Amino acid sequence: MALTGKNLIAGQWTGETENGFVAFNPALNQPMTTRFADATDAEVEQAIVAANKAFYPYSQLSAEKRAQFLDTIGEQILALGDDLVKTACAETGLPEARIIGERGRTVGQLGLFANLLRGGEYTAVIDKADPAREPLPKPDTRLGYLPLGVVAVFGASNFPLAFSTAGGDTASALAAGCPVVMKAHTAHPATAELVAQAISSAITLCELDSGVFSLIQGENYGIAEQIVKHPLVKAVGFTGSERVGMILQAHINQRPEPIPFYGELGSINPQFVLPAKLAENPAEIAQGLVASMMMGQGQFCTSPGVWLVVDGEQTEAFEAAVKASVEAQSAGVMLSPAICRTYQQTVAKWQDIPGVSLLAFGQQGESHLAQAAVFTTSLATFIEQAELQEEVFGSTALIVKCSEASELLQFVSALRGNLTASIHAADADISLAGELAIPLAHKVGRLIYNQMPTGVEVCASMNHGGPFPASTNVRSTSVGSEAIKRFQRPICYQNLPAELLPSLLKD
């Protein structure tokens, strides 16, 4: 499909592209040709007002009609065919197989929420009346859920499909009955437009109000501020850095009416390699950790950033295996020049931190490619140097060598909130694993045993969130069917006749 370079505002493609911005092909290390509009204040206003106008009609649709809409979006995304795959690869530098897999995940997420709607989007709680109760009669009360209203979603840099235009935030908001105003990520505007075209086609096919979805393009940061401060926006979904997330949170805090901000921010995803497990096969665990770190060139929010071992007989063999594996890794393409520069600057900075030693570099490439790196340090240095707890977005990890097993618990005590943590243990480690698991569970959103953290299963039982700074709301998930609850609120109906009750609350 042809690209317009414009914003999709309630069914209309609008915007001035002549002086707009262009995306960048990180693999070819050159700018692309299509220019994209910077949305004006008036266009942003129009999109949000249109979404609010569409809210009541859309929220009153039956669960089946919303499910059909989600399924139709998925069908229209698949209908984009190779154009979508080639465009996403060009804008991100990600390989074709990764984009094809991510497209499947995106369509699968839409199907997950469609199935949820068909099976009952929430569990009704019904307390029937008891007129004979003493000393006062008991009223009929029924607990249900309502959609919040207009939801603003910000696309992620590292998942151009699954956490972007029709990704999990959009899918769960639409499933809940909330119109969406999407702010596309500037790293992949063409991919965003193609998916927006698919959503627009689905809106037409399902005969919905065009205000149900709008796509906002633009490099101007003022766009983001305008969106999150707008009084008609009732919730915000964001996946990105802690720095940008906190800026958005500060803007939201200035609003007269507080609204929920569901931000997925930074995570170092610590890996605890217990002594008996390390002794079994130090090379195998080293190779597994390096392979996980290298997935997506380290640009996964679940990338294993810190590896903990108890210093002992197998430490030297483990480090040697890590070194050999890292040195075999080719330099790779990152998502954008800005991301690559930040990564390279951070790696250079770590080399100057007292108490931190470089263990290995990956193979060197051209200046626009990223070189893998693994460092080592002690627990004392990790605790003293606060920056070591910050996520490094890229293929870098830090080995923390503990002098004894008790230091693993000290590490957990000092740890900030994370999306995940893994305990790698043998049978002989089970007692120590149990000691770790109790406090560690309170620091993460997903606790893993003998598996790597990369890869997030899209299913009803998944939790993708965690204590701050992993996310801004520890009680929510951005992946899985529970994500719909972020964009709903409870409501109790008391003594209402059946004709006025939602279908799920009727006898």
Dump pLDDT digits (tens) for 263-308: 999 899 999 999 999 999 999 999 999 999 999 999 999 999 999 9
Q: Tell me the backbone φ, ψ of residue 300, rounded to 5 degrees.
A: -105, 145
pLDDT digits (tens, 9 = 90+) for 71-92: 999 999 999 999 999 999 999 9
| Mean pLDDT, range 108-123, rounded to an integer | 96
Percent of the residues in the chain that have a pLDDT greater than 70, as a whole number: 100
Arithmetic mean of pLDDT, 132-141: 97
Residue ranges and CATH numbers for the domains of the chain are: 47-122+145-265+471-490 (3.40.605.10), 270-449 (3.40.309.10)
* Residue 86: Cβ within 10 Å count: 14
pLDDT of residue 109: 97
The percent of residues in the chain predicted with pLDDT above 90, rounded, is 99
DSSP, residue by residue, 51-74: HHHHHHHHHTS-HHHHHHHHHHHH
Closest CA to 362 of 323, 420, 333, 400: 323
User: What does the alpha-carbon distance between residue 424 and residue 429 come to, in Å, rounded to a whole number?
Assistant: 9
Closest to 467 measured CA to CA, from 447, 491, 494:
447
Please give the pLDDT value at position 350: 97
Element (H, E) at 151: strand 150-154
Helix (H, G, I), strand (E, B) or coil at 492: strand
pLDDT at residue 24, as a whole number: 97
> Which positions are catalytic?
264, 301
For residue 1, what pLDDT is reported? 67
Q: List the one residue out of 336, 288, 245 whose CA is nearest residue 451.
A: 288
CA–CA separation, 265 and 252 (whole Å): 16
Confidence at residue 331, expressed as pLDDT on a 0 to 100 scale: 97
* Triad 55, 59, 62: Cα angle to 5°: 150
**Dihedral of the alpha carbons of 131, 135, 136, 140, in degrees to the nearest 10:** -50
pLDDT in tens, 38-49: 999 999 999 999
At residue 129, the 3 state secondary structure works out as: coil
Return mean pLDDT, the chain. Answer: 97
Taking 3-state DSSP, the helix, strand and coil percentages for the chain, each rounded to the nearest 5, stand at 45, 20, 35
pLDDT for 93 equals 96
pLDDT at 314 over 80: yes
Segment 326-345 shows an average pLDDT of 96
Give the model's confidence band at 19: pLDDT under 50 very low, under 70 low, under 90 confident, else very high: very high
pLDDT tens figures, 186-202: 999 999 999 999 999 99
pLDDT, tens digit (0-9, with 9 covering 90-100), for 406-445: 999 999 999 999 999 999 999 999 999 999 999 999 999 9
